[in-house]
Amino acid sequence: MRRKIDRYALVSVFDKTGIVEFTKVLIHLGYQIISTGGTGKMLSENGIEVIPIQSVTGNPESFDGRMKTISFQVESGILFDRSKISHQKEAKKLKIPFIDIVVCNLYPFEQTAAKRGVKLDEAVESIDVGGPTMIRAAAKNFKHVLVVVDPNDYPTLSILLRSSILFEKRRKELAAKAFRHLSFYDAQIALYLDKKPFPHEFALPLRKLMTLRYGENPHQKGAFYGYPHVQSLLHKLKKRWGRDLSLVNLTDINAGIEAVRLFREYASVVIKHNSPCGIALGKTGKEALARAIEADPQSAFGGVVVTNFALDTDSASVIASFKDEKKGTIDVVACPRIDVSTLSFLQTIRKSMGVYTFGIIPRKTKDPYNIKWVDGGLVLQTHDNNIDKSFLTWKTVTTEKPTGRELQQMQIAWKFLSRIRSNTIVVIDKNLPMTRGIGSGQTSRIRSAKIALEQAGNFTKGGILASDSFFPFEDCVKLAAKNGIAAIVQQGGSINDNASIAAANKARITMVFTERRAFWH
């Protein structure tokens, strides 16, 4: 008669959610439980008989717990191939336990590294070594060993294990989940230890934060993933009312945040297709929002409103007026905070409007990289920050010099266009901090200029025109002069700069070179 082989489950978890109940299921199914330190203590306190890990390894936990699970006995018990008779015989000869289930999650490096003022040594001590080794071994041997890294899987697995219908496909899915978990964990550590950009090999640790209503189009699916321990406003995004977000809604909110975060003043923007159609500042939130919509009410229809100030009933009344007077609707409103009365008021304006909050906006993004997708990979770049500092190197190149007001408006215009899709020409009011015309996303700079000037209408007289790059020809300056523009700010650096300067001097237009480009794609 063949001797029955003892079966073991190795249980070693930092997150102990649901582990007692799941372990009881494993015992009921005939598994003996091998466990470590804190997990073993908790299981024992709940009446579960546990085999201490040192009884298997033959060695005590050592070096303040740095060594406890890594051993020939444990790793062999997980890794040997049950389908090979030779492996089975060798395991019995070497007295290797048949560890058929590994339940393991890791030291909380993510939480430790995110703590304010954390020291390097403290973070390093939170790097798990034994856990990943066991998980990796079990995931490799998934045909014979079940690997469980997520407490959310305990209820389903409890049912499947009792029913004996745990197919290889499910085992493989759990193995893939385990490898993703390890990759996520290791990528965080790499980013923490070396924050220099553009390493030779690069992995992004991303966690799913939101399932989107759909992708770019209703027939496409989408989800939002975020970095761990990054103070991102989109991570804090909270639905207060109305519609769930599509990919475009989410990216519109992101574009809006990027546009208004540059300002300490009350700032508001209306976003369509990831680019502003109206940006404005004001002495009050109501004034900023009213100006942002007034800048282009036609395009604002169906737009996403983002502010850098808490929305109150007074400022929200602008959205009601837009609906009543212009028959215009807003799809989504996103702001740092909103009170209960204002939320109730917005609900009366449009039932399907989405209302979201995201907390106080820092001046600069905390994301480690700006990332652009390309076929087969990603392009990484640093962020376009410190725009204010660039003002110090601006150079007036025309006979006419800017007045104090014109220079102030130029600086506001430059911030505005730095978050608008290129090619960009912006016309802003001669006095008010608001856009009057935006030409963006065009393949020709003169075409962008025509769109911006046409949209600005009579507000071009004495207005400010800003270009996110240089003028390749003097045609933009001549068109600006024809429309009464008083001052131009542009990058400069074209081989035809002299022609543009001459055209500006002839029209008595002030022109300033930034010597810095402001593309935004």
Per-residue pLDDT of 208-243, as tens digits, reads: 999 999 999 999 999 999 888 777 899 999 999 999
Give yes or no: residues 156 and 32 share one domain.
yes
Instruction: Give the whole-angstrom CA distance, residue 339 versus residue 23.
Output: 46
Are the CB atoms for 424 and 520 separated by under 8 Å? yes
Is residue 268 domain-resident? yes
Give yes or no: residues 172 and 255 share one domain.
no
Which pLDDT score is estimated for 3?
A: 46
For residue 1, is pLDDT > 50? Answer: no
Instruction: Give the whole-angstrom CA distance, residue 290 versus residue 280.
Output: 8
Is residue 350 domain-resident? yes
Which pLDDT score is estimated for 383?
A: 87
Is residue 411 domain-resident? yes
Annotated catalytic, 140? Answer: yes
Query: Using one digit for the tens of pLDDT, what is the confidence trace for 122-153?
Result: 999 889 999 999 999 999 999 999 999 999 99
Is residue 118 domain-resident? yes
Segment 144-170 shows an average pLDDT of: 90
DSSP state of 96: -
For residue 97, is pLDDT > 70? Answer: yes
For residue 368, is pLDDT > 80? Answer: no
Segment 267-278 shows an average pLDDT of: 96
DSSP string, 323-391: HHHH---EEEEEES-B-HHHHHHHHHH-TT-EEEE--PPPSS---S-EEEEETTEEEEE-----HHHHG
Q: 169 or 253: whose pLDDT is higher? A: 253
For residue 521, is pLDDT > 60? Answer: yes
Which pLDDT score is estimated for 178?
A: 97
Annotated catalytic, 219? Answer: no
Give yes or no: residues 54 and 166 share one domain.
yes
Give yes or no: residues 108 and 171 share one domain.
yes
Nearest Cα to Cα of residue 334 among 309, 314, 351, 315: 309
Q: 270: burial class by Cβ within 10 Å (0-12, 13-18, 19+)?
A: buried
Give yes or no: residues 186 and 249 share one domain.
no
Give yes or no: residues 161 and 239 share one domain.
no
Domain region containing 438: 392-513
pTM of the model: 0.87
For residue 5, is pLDDT > 60? Answer: yes
Is residue 48 domain-resident? yes
Segment 334-347 shows an average pLDDT of: 96
For residue 512, is pLDDT > 50? Answer: yes
Give yes or no: residues 293 and 400 share one domain.
no
Query: Using one digit for the tens of pLDDT, what is the confidence trace for 440-494?
Result: 999 999 999 999 999 999 999 999 999 999 999 999 999 999 999 999 999 999 9
Give yes or no: residues 406 and 347 share one domain.
no
For residue 410, is pLDDT > 90? Answer: yes
Is residue 330 domain-resident? yes
Report the share of the chain in percent with pLDDT over 70.
99
Query: Which of 357, 372, 404 is a domain's end point?
Result: 357
* Catalytic residue chosen out of the listed positions 16, 24, 87, 140: 140
Are the CB atoms for 521 and 421 separated by under 8 Å? yes
Q: What is the band of 189 on the pLDDT scale with cuts at 50, 70, 90?
A: very high
Query: CA dist 203 to 120, 200, 222, 226, Å?
Result: 21, 10, 21, 13
Segment 185-200 shows an average pLDDT of: 88
Pairing status of strand 146-148 against strand 98-104: parallel
Which pLDDT score is estimated for 66?
A: 83
Q: How far is CA 187 from the centre of its chain?
A: 16
Q: 36 or 305: whose pLDDT is higher? A: 305
Structural domains counted in the chain: 3
Q: What is the band of 179 on the pLDDT scale with cuts at 50, 70, 90?
A: very high
Instruction: Give the whole-angstrom CA distance, residue 438 versus residue 426.
Output: 5
Is residue 221 domain-resident? no
Mean pLDDT of the residues in the chain: 93
Lowest mean pLDDT among 71-85, 359-373, 415-429: 359-373
Query: Which of 333, 357, 381 is a domain's end point?
Result: 357
Give yes or no: residues 28 and 146 share one domain.
yes
Which pLDDT score is estimated for 24?
A: 96
Is residue 84 domain-resident? yes
Q: What is the band of 422 on the pLDDT scale with cuts at 50, 70, 90?
A: very high
Q: The domain spanning residue 243 has which CATH number?
A: 3.40.140.20
Report the share of the chain in percent with pLDDT over 90.
80
Query: Which of 193, 222, 254 is a domain's end point?
Result: 193
Which pLDDT score is estimated for 69?
A: 85
Give yes or no: residues 411 and 275 share one domain.
no
Give yes or no: residues 171 and 25 share one domain.
yes
* Catalytic residue chosen out of the listed positions 229, 273, 323, 506: 273
Give yes or no: residues 307 and 435 share one domain.
no
Instruction: Give the whole-angstrom CA distance, residue 318 versus residue 152.
Output: 45
Q: The domain spanning residue 123 has which CATH number?
A: 3.40.50.1380
Instruction: Give the whole-angstrom CA distance, residue 9 versus residue 99.
Output: 6
Query: Using one digit for the tens of pLDDT, what is the confidence trace for 22-70?
Result: 999 999 999 999 998 889 999 999 999 999 998 998 888 888 778 888 8
For residue 283, is pLDDT > 90? Answer: yes
